[in-house]
């Protein structure tokens, strides 16, 4: 079962069939993410093929990591077609967050 952890705190956990693997990252469905540990970031980014990105700061175990999670609230329709599933709101994690 894929899990995202920071400092021993589970940030997200879902079954393999519920996550998506996109460009080497594991994307967790919104219901599998502990959103109380995320805070919206103002960092702007638009992926050329996925669309406008929402970055999140991650808080756990007394640590706050800037822009270590991201999602695509409204991916381009062509991106969902390319991935094979609508991934609106799915969350991926970066760097110090351990995803296994």
Structural domains of the chain ordered from first start: 3-99 (2.170.150.40)
pLDDT of res. 88? 98
The whole-model pTM stands at 0.96
pLDDT at position 61: 85
Q: Pairing state of beta strands 38-40 and 25-27?
A: unpaired
Number of alpha carbons in the 13 Å side-chain half-sphere of residue 83: 23
- State the pLDDT at residue 78: 98
Per-residue pLDDT of the chain (100 residues; tens, 9 = 90+): 999 999 999 999 999 999 999 999 999 999 999 999 999 999 999 999 999 999 999 999 889 999 999 999 999 999 999 999 999 999 999 989 999 9
């Amino acid at each position: 079962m894929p899990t995202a952890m920071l400092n021993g705190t589970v940030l997200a956990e879902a079954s393999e069939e519920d996550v998506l693997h996109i460009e080497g990252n594991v994307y967790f469905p919104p219901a599998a993410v502990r959103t109380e540990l995320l805070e919206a970031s103002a960092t702007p980014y638009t992926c050329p093929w996925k669309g406008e990105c929402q970055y999140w700061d991650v808080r756990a175990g007394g640590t706050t990591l800037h822009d270590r999670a991201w999602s695509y609230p409204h991916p381009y329709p062509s991106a969902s077609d390319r991935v094979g599933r609508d991934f609106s709101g799915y969350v991926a994690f970066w760097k110090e967050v351990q995803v296994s």
